[in-house]
Amino acid sequence: MNKLLLTTLLLGGSTLLPMHSSLLQAQKLPATYRPAKTEMYRKGWIDFNKNGIKDIYEDPTATVDARIEDLLGQMNMNEKTCQMVTLYGYKRVLKDALPTPEWKQQLWKDGMGAIDEHLNGFQQWGLPPSDNENVWPASRHAWALNEVQRFFVEETRLGIPTDFTNEGIRGVESFRATNFPTQLGLGHTWNRSLIRQVGRITGREARMLGYTNVYAPILDVGRDQRWGRYEEVYGESPYLVAELGIEMVRGLQHNHQVAATGKHFIAYSNNKGAREGMARVDPQMSPREVEMIHVYPFKRVIREAGMLGVMSSYNDYDGFPIQSSYYWLTTRLRGEMDFRGYVVSDSDAVEYLYTKHGTAKDMKEAVRQSVEAGLNVRCTFRSPDSYVLPLRELINEGGLSEAVINDRVRDILRVKFLVGLFDAPYQTDLKGADSEVESLANQAVARQASLESIVLLKNDNNTLPLDASTIRKIAVCGPNADETSYALTHYGPLAVEVSSVLDGIREKLNNKAEVLYTKGCELVDANWPESELIDFPLTPAEQEEIDKAVQQAQQADVAVVVLGGGQRTCGENKSRSSLDLPGRQLNLLKAVRATGKPVVLVLINGRPQSINWADRFVPAIVEAWYPGSKGGEAVADVLFGDYNPGGKLTVTFPKTVGQIPFNFPHKPSSQVDGGKTPGGEGNMSRANGALYPFGYGLSYTTFAYSDLQLSSSTITPQQQAQVRCRITNTGQRAGDEVVQLYLRDVLSSVTTYEKNLAGFERVHLQPGESKEVCFTIDRKHLELLNLNNEWVVEPGAFKVMVGASSEDIRLNGTLTVADYGTTAPNSPTKANPVSASTNEEAVKQVFDTNLSTVWQGNKGDYITFALQSGATVADVSIAFGRENALPAEFEIQLSSGGGQFLTVYSGRVTEYNKLLTYRFKETAASDLRIVLGADRVGIAEVKIKQLKQE
């Protein structure tokens, strides 16, 4: 932070009256900010209390704890209580952009804990960004926040700086700043180093603008896809949320440039029926699920990244509001997790104790409960007096002790000292703010994040990438084709230039082909969301616009339909009752597909959607999430092959809301039930399986997995094991593969998840290139919460699985955890080349030369065989077994990597317990799969000459 040095030079007089706007516009801001009262600013320290003596709290060489105690000892109760509240910024609560003489009569004459969202441009939901002259450019914004800070440093008794807080989950919330994909999109990059870059840029730009505390990352784990805030989570895996959260915090807090405040603590993201608003209470979860899913990320991010802030959520759990829970805010957060920052309340969390939860009789009692529980700073869109005055009454009446108040203020001061507010309270490099905020270098990182967040969901017959040289006309339609508002939602930059998908396509083709465009339909129809329940007929205007899209598609060589969601359908307080495409979007897609022209579906949305019809009938589908200001360029790069998509799903796509809860991780067999045979004569009564599972994503190239090795087959609970495998790009294009490691505790004292994500690595490979990937397994990957609510590693076998998704497992091994004192052999163990979708322990039966022993499965189940490197295969010999001896269908599929299996043989078994050879066109492949087409069918024996050896 060498550009944030304190200067002792004089800017002008000591008055805090703002200059007239016309004078400010005419006067060019200096390159360096200089505060006014020069006698305060000494060489190497600041005389905050104006006594002419270097007090301990003013001494940068003293320890943080010593400085805290010295300052705390000088504070009176008015000053302490003012540190325990937030003043919301300009046009939210504070009516002034800059200090006025009246501030000396306001509550904050005694200081202020934090000022939130001041001059960041946000006014209210649905209003355009503020046009106040101090909002932009960046240098003017930094100057204005310095002027506000100068009031607290120069005009209050002890000169305690305020903490300027702001949102920042997709770039710092400012009129302009580097605009990244929303957090859900960032999660789909699976790229730790990229997320740290995003955090570092967000924190740096925040500090250059004058902010010192950023409300990010969101550490909620997605559980219900209907939830409006799904766009804000990294994903459904607590491990992935923790890993990316750690990187984001390390980036944000780099050199303590800002404090990072994670949210929402705790158990916030699984509300009953995904309902929001006043119904955000008592998520429907067991205590063990709360610990394994929701507590896990906070615990790791606080311990491993030293996160300095936590936002307390306003839900309750098991009947106890989190905001008033000493157990959650003190016993767990500070005691167990060793949190040493400060807790800020989310919105009306304090007020909800009496207005919603009914556990406090009035505001004063709500304040008492919150402070005793562990709340440091109340933050909501209300006057700070509404909190501080009842707080002071409680202290005067003996309802809260001075010792409790001192504890809460210590935490606030600690954060302020750590981020350097007492050593460099001003952002002095005004010229640097203009050059750094939204710089070209930072925008290049944002563009890379947009590219890496995109997931290829379907690509039949290599529909993508499109060949621009063969396209004469391209038809583009859909409500999101020329839309940009998805990049300008709350909690991020508000007024940056945004590239739409239509912009990206036009720029890519550069007048070499004609781009036909019509909207096709609105994002939602006039009756939405009731139209999700009732089939209203199309209006003439709606039909006319769909017809126009059809006419353009008929003229074109290919049609790109851009659908999904937006600010009307997703976001805070915008949960849904359906996951289908809203409004008339499916009508539009069907009509364009009916033209017979090649169709590419691009989705821009903030949650998974049940696109069953598109998955069945549209040849290519690209999921872009909310891809940030560079999203249109990034989508065009993917469509035309200038970038090979490598994102993988961090969320599950259900086929219907009727399957919810349907997510990852899940307990064994919890997401499949009922029969598997459809139709009138079948036994299937509901849709089974995911539309797209966790970890899924395709590529324009293919990848082979091989050579799984464990550094040791047996470890004790405190030891580590390395899992190594080799990934090879077997296709013709350079590309990224997200290699995923999963673990399964085979036998445990409590039920554990079917697969736990335990490692991931995004690997870039040139055609033909191979790379070894290494994962380390240690205690945190093996622990479970036992019957006594103790985190333990239980001895026994752990299944080790490496694959391209949670369902596309390519390599298998076994790691044994032994009791202490057991000798752990160091000889590496190689992977089993055979895996199965079910009854994996029985796969050895297909190689025992005994036709009476079988591996058995039901319709849709399969066995996968890894083949030798560079193998070509033209036949396989199989002996089936079935008790009822009725005919059964089956398929033989081949894969050359990337998670795509193509059927090369469809057959019908009529002879059982006999080894028969099935032939097909010779094909290069890395894996062979036998898929059952009926229930209770067994495979007794398989012979493949090209089988990879263990």
DSSP 258-326: SEEEEEEETT-S--GGG--GGG----S--HHHIIIIIIHHHHHHHHHH---EEEEPS-EETTEEGGG-H
CA-based max dimension of the chain: 99
Structure-block tokens of residue 147: 């002027």
How many Cβ atoms sit within 10 Å of the Cβ of residue 88? 20
Contacts of residue 173, Cβ cutoff 8 Å, sequence gap at least 6: 117, 120, 121, 122, 166, 167, 490, 491, 492, 493, 494
How far, in whole angstroms, is CA 307 from its chain's centroid?
17
Whether the CB-CB separation of 191 and 242 falls below 8 Å is answered with no
Structure-block tokens of residue 605: 């949305």
Amino acid, single-letter form, for residue 301: V
At 732 the three-state DSSP class reads: coil
H helices present in 419-471, as ranges: 430-436, 440-453
At 254 the three-state DSSP class reads: helix
Contacts of residue 434, Cβ cutoff 8 Å, sequence gap at least 6: 137, 138, 139
How far is residue 427's CA from residue 139's CA, in Å, rounded to a whole number?
10
At 210 the three-state DSSP class reads: coil
Q: Is 482 a catalytic residue?
A: no
Contacts of residue 403, Cβ cutoff 8 Å, sequence gap at least 6: none
Catalytic entry in 346, 525, 637, 861: 346
Torsion-angle region of 778 (φ positive above 0: left; ψ -120 to 50: alpha; else: beta): beta
How many Cβ atoms sit within 10 Å of the Cβ of residue 750? 11
How far is residue 798's CA from residue 787's CA, in Å, rounded to a whole number?
19
- Residue 493: exposed, middle, or buried by beta-carbon count in 10 A (0-12, 13-18, 19+)? buried
Whether the CB-CB separation of 230 and 651 falls below 8 Å is answered with yes
Q: Is the dihedral of CA 572, 574, 577, 583 positive or negative?
A: negative
Structure-block tokens of residue 118: 């001041």
Structure-block tokens of residue 541: 């205007």
Whether the CB-CB separation of 607 and 581 falls below 8 Å is answered with no
Contacts of residue 755, Cβ cutoff 8 Å, sequence gap at least 6: 664, 665, 742, 743, 744, 801, 806
At 518 the three-state DSSP class reads: strand
> How far are the Cα atoms of 242, 245, 300, 366, 450 from residue 184, in angstroms, in the given order?
14, 12, 20, 34, 11
> How far are the Cα atoms of 444, 654, 769, 797 from residue 189, in angstroms, in the given order?
15, 21, 21, 32
Buried b or exposed e, range 559-592, using 16+ CB within 10 angstroms: bbbbbbbbbbbbbbebbbebbbbbbbbbbbbebb
End-to-end CA distance of the chain: 54
The catalytic site residues sit at 346
